[in-house]
Structure 1
Amino acid sequence: MRIEQKLQSTLWANEALQKLKEELDALLSSDSLHIPKEPGGWWHQYVCPEHHVELLFDPAERDAHSFQCPHGCRIEGEAYRGAWLVFKHQSMARYALQAAAIYAGINEPSYAELAKQIIINYAAQFPQYPVHPDAQPWMLKGRAFHQALTEAIWSTTILRAYLLLHDEGVGFNETEKATLDAFLSMLEESMVQYRQILIHDRQNAENNYTAWLNASLSCVYAIRGQQELLQGLIDGEGGWKHHLSIGVKPDQFEFEGSTYYHIFVLRAYLISAEMAERFGVDLYHIQAEQDQSMRGMFDVLVGLADDQGMLPALHDGPLARVPFAREIAEIMEIGLAHYGNELYAPLLGEAYRQMDGEARRISLEALVYGEGDANLTNAGLLAGRNTLLLKDSGFIVGRKAGNPLSYLADFGPHGGSHGHYDKLHVSIQYEGGTFTPDLGVVPYGSSLRKQWFAETVSHNTVSIDGQSQAEHSGLCKLFTESEQAVYTWLQSDEAYEGCILNRHLLLSGEWLLDWFEVQLSEERTIDWWMHPLVKPHAADGAWVRNSDGLGALGYAGHGYDQVKLTDYYETEEGDSLGLAEQLDLLLTPKMLTLQYTPDSDTTKSLHQSIVAFPGMSLLRVETPGTSIDPSQALSGLLQRQMGKQANFIQIYKLGPAVHASWEASEATGTVETNNEASTIEHAHVIGMNSSHGQLVISTRSQEAVCVLDREQGLVVTWRDKHE
């Protein structure tokens, strides 16, 4: 749909165009639309070395050699200058598209001239850039930027601006055409060369680079009208169809298991599809060999999002970042236009909220790619979604009707260079967002990327002896859904030598049970981590300030350097669950309760009931914050046990805490089930297993008796209270 038509047929397009026009007019009046002669560097270096937060970028700034951190730091240096230049070049390309879009809406020639000026000036300047001498050795080197990848992305924005002008009948004189032709030829030569290196020389066709090299070349061939070359780019080795079949797993998630790179690749696919559509070729409904499709890639994002439409930062990727929100908005606008799935709207609304503070369509992404008048504020659309199991990628989202809590667990492949040491990580979500998210990752130029955010201790899982997990894959041993609950049994036997990790997640209509069992071949220190966004408070005990100067936890490296011990938990009877000499003060298992209250809203309080076993330390720790701003520390939770075996048992519930009890037994026995071991609703307990006890969880109408069996997993007997 043409922009001129959107102004007539939608409720939002006129306001969006006016906002974009005012922004561009202000930049023109301040003479800020200046194209730097220097090539850009690597944007990931645009990060404060002290606070590890992305530096501020003002597109109205004509030039800059000193760069400001949100916390007031002023930083100088060639690396920061190069990164700033990336932002500047990208913003100029965006303004070319913005000017073209405004012209398409109101037919004011000055905006067409502005867009042409940016496009032609870049076309003239591009041949002046050498292959970047300062690029890092591992990079595919670009000209206008350190990375060929950045160059491909930037070029698609420039070329889409050109095509929008062309569609609106804007002409170019012979000199301008010659300049543009030279640019296209050099860009094509570079992208073809990079594809040869990546696909054939390195045998790495599945790389996310490939999708963007294809997208850039697709734009070149669309401008030239070269359908045969574009078709070869779709059908050939490393082409659109081939990349979809190897770069996306059969469960529709990008092969690195990263939400960020999933969206990154999908955006490139959509640009290629947009160019193919100009020749009457439909890629929007193509399926690859194992049924991978762009529609499937959209739908898996709907399944992963929390109830507010916010996407989790699985593996490498920011938790939230305005340029990333723009990318989400772009693909979701296109997805809505082509597939019409109303469940995309809450994700689009959340992207706009991150960009502009509210969920409304006033951005360039809306004006260029949006259609219709979808309701972006109806987050309730997502509340009734089903459980999602991504068997190939190794993620599961557990949901149960009637329970506002859900969970997202990671058990799959490491994720290559963009993976984290995070197997059996669990995020707890609720109707208002996520309590314990994956914290995301900072720009790669920050030392905290590897020193904290990729390490095991920054995730909601278990670490052993102060070490991070090995790079490996876990597995889903069992997944069942019944009338009473959703049950997931996850296992890892390669995280540490001589170690088996089992995590059992049982989601009923009212509560979530998380039972993490660790089995070791020898006695070791076992740390269970939880990183909530709100501070854990003691509901039936007290926190005792750590006053002995032990800020560290006995280990160095692997993220432990970033953790500060702040408090010990003390029970109402005065038992202090601290470290070392205090370990044996708790003589019998005890139920403890913690409370988390976001935004001072007690109706949304999450209660965590903990089975505290003898020998457990329950500690509150201070850690770096999320990747949005690591300098804003979080108050996390650490449970430590020492030995050859440990059980960490938590029951979560919104509102009043669940009533739970631990019934210990000295005897061991067996667990029988009626017929199928894989169906938890028929379990009948006839003895105790190696966990030496059973957990009883009670509600007004029902009790669940939970016993852990190493052959069958978590076996549950459901008992009605009136029986």
Structure 2
Amino acid sequence: MMNIREKITGTSWAQTLLDELREELDVLSAAEGFQIPVEPGGWWHQYVCPEHHTELLFDPLEADAMQYKCPHGCVLSGEPYRGAWLVYKHQSLARYALQAAAVYSGTGEASYAELARTILERYARQFPLYPIHPDAQGWMLKGRAFHQALSEAIWATTLIRAYLLLKDEGLDFKSAVQPLAVFFDMLETSMAQYRQILIFERKSPQNNYTAWLNAALAGVYAATGERSKLEALISGEGGLRHHLSIGVKPDQFEFEGSTYYHVFVLRAYLIMGEMAERLGFDMKTMKGEEGQTFEGMLDILAELANDSGYLPALHDGPYQRLAYAREIAEIFEIGLAHYGKAEHVPVLAEAYRQIGSEQASSQDEFTPKAAGWRNSLEALVFGIGDTLPSSELPPRPSLWLPDSGFAVGRVNGNRLSFLADFGAHGGSHGHYDKLHVSLEHAIGGSLSPELGMVPYGSALRKSWYAGTSSHNTVSVNGQSQLETTGEAVQWSASDKAVYLWMRANDAYPGCVLQRHLFQTDAFILDWFDVVLESEATAIDWWYHGLGSFKLSIGEWEGITHSDKPSGQSAGYEYIDAHGKVAGDRRPGALLLEQQLPTGINSSIQLWLHANSNVYHVDAPGPADNPAQRMKGLLHRIEGTKATFIALYHAGEQPVELRFATGLPVGEAHYTKAEFIIDSIGNSWNCRYSNEQGLSFTKHLE
């Protein structure tokens, strides 16, 4: 592993980045931005605008803020915003301690060592003065410097990393030996107590909390040189090996089915591995009982990413956020240093693109501009090497995650890919989204993504983002699905075609949902059947898309207020309908175009088969900016049975959707569930093998 001085002399990027990080520290020092708050922090999830549901702005130049601004102009004050701001402040100071230690390591300038040491010493002296937090919510494991012990563990690992980096450079802490000893002792005591509660009393060792309590304790043991305690923490119940076995599924994805919490837990694992290696353990070869590894967890992220390296926001987790991008950069820099896999680079490059974009739009004048595309502290501390492999992703095969319940369809020659969710609900971080499907475009990026999750203090968390109506699936009677697990009845994938048959039997009482996805190099066919035991008011098929929609033939019809598909709950209260195409006026196939959101001169075609109303709607957008409304389609069928058929196409040649028989909507009987493909001359013909026939023709000129 390269140290920072070796990076300065051995790479073309490290010196530029070091200079920018040093300039940032100098600006903060001049603004007295390093004062340690004597108040403990609250819960960061409450740092969110109640009107626009966006994260509030944070300026580290402010030593003590009393007003908290929304990006849309709102100004808030008091609690819970004050406590949440303090979380940002405490976490930023820990990061600046690590940044100052890194700058000292690269320059040898004593003022930066003194800055890092000052932050560490002040926190060591202040920590015993924070009470066990009296305002923490009842479900939380309570911290001192924060509402949650979880936040405390994350914060503590950053401080400990700074401490160890300074120790590596030969710096002594003679003036703070006793305060630091007290800090480490108190931290060990609280983290060990909370592990006991979580693992043995609450019987929840797989919780993501456990991974972070372990990481914080590993940091303490690395700082104090207690190898035997760290060995027990690796091997014992709820320890690293055990947590890797129960907190990660055999297909290498974190058990909650959340991309964010996968990154979150992996980061804790890698920190623990870093601390263990300081005491002589080799963590690269660590394996769970069913083959789970750190390398495998990185691999699965790279396989889930779209062609730009962007990670889908499966289940709970932000759509895009600076702190999250930094976490992704950290784990993939560590991954590159240990495993050196070129296929990891695109995800790392996308994380740095997001970091650079956030910095460019920030009001803070001191943020790093960019050093190549390695533009943040994570690169200086964890990155190695001068040149990196290409950030272009080669063509990738489809991805099948049977344990976690996700599938990604990819076929060479088709610019579109799909991601389908049929697995477990995901516990407290799950969504009511069974049989949800996202679409990606190889050039244009996300077309109909998972929207991510707002901070948990927002009212939209459960009422919109976790609910069914915000996902590209089906809702019944204006209600969200029940918490359930679906199944994959059939999956097959080759370089020419992909077929997935998904089913959910318990999403609604007496209801069976079945969805078929069939992909060739020319199109993606999406066939969704719903059968109910009792009468339904409405069965709604949702498609939320980035970009804009237009009808290829005709215009949207105006609708009256009474005709709008609105409601007072389950997310319908956030839907606004602008027009419709009435089924009784337009039987057969409806052709729409979705303009790609990136602004490139291209679009995709959506053929919808329907003899019922299709509405043009808008709704809250991705979770990083809910106030930016996004467009969508709502296809509504009344009755106890419904069949929704859509065709997605992004090629140069037109694809025609036509029906070989007069298919009556809602009359699909599953006598045999299989697609048959025939190649005849210059055409591909796809037939659905039950009693109703569906025919597609594409001219391959």
TM-score, length basis structure 2: 0.94
Q: Which among 456, 463, 471 is matched to residue 451 of structure 1? A: 463
- Give, in whole Å, the separation in 1 of the partners of 2:594 and 2:698: 28
| 1:55 paired residue number | 56
Cα 1:38–1:554 shift into 2, 3 Å? closer
In angstroms, what is the RMSD of aligned CA positions?
2.2
| 2:374 paired residue number | 361
The code of the aligned residue for 1:342 comes to: A
Shift of residue 539, structure 1, vs aligned partner: 1.1
Q: Matched residue of 2:561: which SS?
A: coil
Cα 1:700–1:312 shift into 2, 3 Å? farther
| 1:475 paired residue number | 487
1:374-422 deviations in Å (ceiling 9; x for gaps): 547x4432x4111111101100011111211100000000000000000
Question: Within 5 A, what are the aligned runs for 1:289-368?
Answer: 289-357=289-357, 360-368=373-381
| 1:541 paired residue number | 554
Shift of residue 373, structure 1, vs aligned partner: 3.1
Cα 1:32–1:720 shift into 2, 3 Å? closer
| 2:364 paired residue number | none
| 1:405 paired residue number | 416
Q: Matched residue of 2:271: which SS?
A: helix
| 2:403 paired residue number | 392
Cα 1:438–1:551 shift into 2, 3 Å? farther
- Give, in whole Å, the separation in 2 of the partners of 1:655 and 1:92: 51
Cα 1:669–1:196 shift into 2, 3 Å? closer
Cα 1:210–1:500 shift into 2, 3 Å? same
- Give, in whole Å, the separation in 1 of the partners of 2:135 and 2:9: 49
1:27-48 deviations in Å (ceiling 9; x for gaps): 1111111111100000000000
| 1:41 paired residue number | 42
Q: Matched residue of 1:335: which SS?
A: helix
- Give, in whole Å, the separation in 2 of the partners of 1:276 and 1:216: 12
Q: Would you say the 8 A contact 2:657–2:695 is kept in 1?
A: no
Cα 1:287–1:590 shift into 2, 3 Å? same
Is residue 461 from structure 1 mapped to residue 473 from structure 2 by the alignment? yes
1:265-284 deviations in Å (ceiling 9; x for gaps): 00000000001111221112
- Give, in whole Å, the separation in 2 of the partners of 1:334 and 1:716: 50
Is residue 236 from structure 1 mapped to residue 236 from structure 2 by the alignment? yes
Q: Would you say the 8 A contact 1:681–1:718 is kept in 2?
A: no
- Give, in whole Å, the separation in 1 of the partners of 2:64 and 2:669: 73
1:455-493 deviations in Å (ceiling 9; x for gaps): 000000000010110100000110112464111111111
- Give, in whole Å, the separation in 1 of the partners of 2:256 and 2:387: 32
Q: Would you say the 8 A contact 2:412–2:495 is kept in 1?
A: no
The code of the aligned residue for 2:397 comes to: N
Q: Matched residue of 1:380: which SS?
A: coil
Cα 1:566–1:715 shift into 2, 3 Å? closer
Q: Matched residue of 1:78: which SS?
A: coil
Q: Matched residue of 1:626: which SS?
A: coil
Q: Would you say the 8 A contact 1:253–1:262 is kept in 2?
A: yes
| 1:172 paired residue number | 173
Shift of residue 596, structure 1, vs aligned partner: 2.5
The code of the aligned residue for 1:651 comes to: L
Q: Would you say the 8 A contact 2:405–2:422 is kept in 1?
A: yes
Is residue 71 from structure 1 mapped to residue 72 from structure 2 by the alignment? yes
Is residue 647 from structure 1 mapped to residue 643 from structure 2 by the alignment? yes
Cα 1:164–1:72 shift into 2, 3 Å? same
| 1:145 paired residue number | 146
The code of the aligned residue for 1:701 comes to: N
1:243-282 deviations in Å (ceiling 9; x for gaps): 0000001110000000000000000000000011112211
Shift of residue 521, structure 1, vs aligned partner: 1.7
Tell me whether 277-286 or 455-464 shows the greater mean CA deviation. Answer: 277-286
Shift of residue 593, structure 1, vs aligned partner: 3.2
Q: Would you say the 8 A contact 2:657–2:697 is kept in 1?
A: no
Question: Within 5 A, what are the aligned runs for 1:199-238?
Answer: 199-238=199-238
Q: Which among 515, 521, 526 is matched to residue 527 of structure 2? A: 515
- Give, in whole Å, the separation in 1 of the partners of 2:596 and 2:243: 45
Question: Within 5 A, what are the aligned runs for 1:518-597?
Answer: 518-524=530-536, 525-546=538-559, 548-550=560-562, 552-569=564-581, 577=582, 583-586=583-586, 588-597=587-596
Cα 1:444–1:402 shift into 2, 3 Å? same
Is residue 605 from structure 1 mapped to residue 603 from structure 2 by the alignment? yes
| 1:620 paired residue number | 616
Shift of residue 720, structure 1, vs aligned partner: 9.8
Q: Would you say the 8 A contact 1:34–1:62 is kept in 2?
A: yes
Q: Would you say the 8 A contact 2:43–2:84 is kept in 1?
A: yes
Q: Would you say the 8 A contact 1:45–1:83 is kept in 2?
A: yes
Shift of residue 708, structure 1, vs aligned partner: 4.9
Cα 1:167–1:443 shift into 2, 3 Å? same
Is residue 493 from structure 1 mapped to residue 510 from structure 2 by the alignment? no
Q: Would you say the 8 A contact 1:57–1:84 is kept in 2?
A: yes
| 2:361 paired residue number | none
Q: Matched residue of 1:251: which SS?
A: coil
Shift of residue 671, structure 1, vs aligned partner: 10
Is residue 30 from structure 1 mapped to residue 31 from structure 2 by the alignment? yes
The code of the aligned residue for 1:643 comes to: G
Unmatched tracts of structure 2, length 5 or more: 358-369
The code of the aligned residue for 2:379 comes to: A
Question: Within 5 A, what are the aligned runs for 1:92-111?
Answer: 92-111=93-112
Q: Matched residue of 1:467: which SS?
A: coil
Shift of residue 610, structure 1, vs aligned partner: 1.6
Q: Would you say the 8 A contact 1:285–1:295 is kept in 2?
A: no
Q: Which among 650, 661, 664 is matched to residue 661 of structure 2? A: 664
- Give, in whole Å, the separation in 1 of the partners of 2:429 and 2:44: 17
Q: Would you say the 8 A contact 2:325–2:351 is kept in 1?
A: yes
TM-score, length basis structure 1: 0.91
| 2:688 paired residue number | 707
Q: Would you say the 8 A contact 2:589–2:657 is kept in 1?
A: no
Q: Which among 619, 627, 631 is matched to residue 631 of structure 1? A: 627
Shift of residue 715, structure 1, vs aligned partner: 9.2
Cα 1:528–1:336 shift into 2, 3 Å? same
Q: Matched residue of 2:91: which SS?
A: helix
- Give, in whole Å, the separation in 1 of the partners of 2:458 and 2:510: 34
Tell me whether 351-360 or 555-564 shows the greater mean CA deviation. Answer: 351-360
- Give, in whole Å, the separation in 2 of the partners of 1:180 and 1:670: 70
Shift of residue 153, structure 1, vs aligned partner: 0.2
Percent of residue pairs identical = 52
| 1:287 paired residue number | 287
1:293-350 deviations in Å (ceiling 9; x for gaps): 1111000001110100000100000000001101001001000110111111111111
Cα 1:715–1:215 shift into 2, 3 Å? farther
- Give, in whole Å, the separation in 1 of the partners of 2:249 and 2:484: 17
| 2:127 paired residue number | 126
- Give, in whole Å, the separation in 1 of the partners of 2:281 and 2:463: 47
| 1:254 paired residue number | 254
- Give, in whole Å, the separation in 1 of the partners of 2:260 and 2:164: 27
Shift of residue 672, structure 1, vs aligned partner: 10
Cα 1:518–1:60 shift into 2, 3 Å? same
The code of the aligned residue for 1:649 comes to: I
- Give, in whole Å, the separation in 2 of the partners of 1:708 and 1:26: 68
| 2:159 paired residue number | 158
Shift of residue 235, structure 1, vs aligned partner: 0.3
1:11-31 deviations in Å (ceiling 9; x for gaps): 211111011000001111111
Tell me whether 233-242 or 505-514 shows the greater mean CA deviation. Answer: 505-514
1:477-524 deviations in Å (ceiling 9; x for gaps): 101124641111111111111211111111101211111111122332
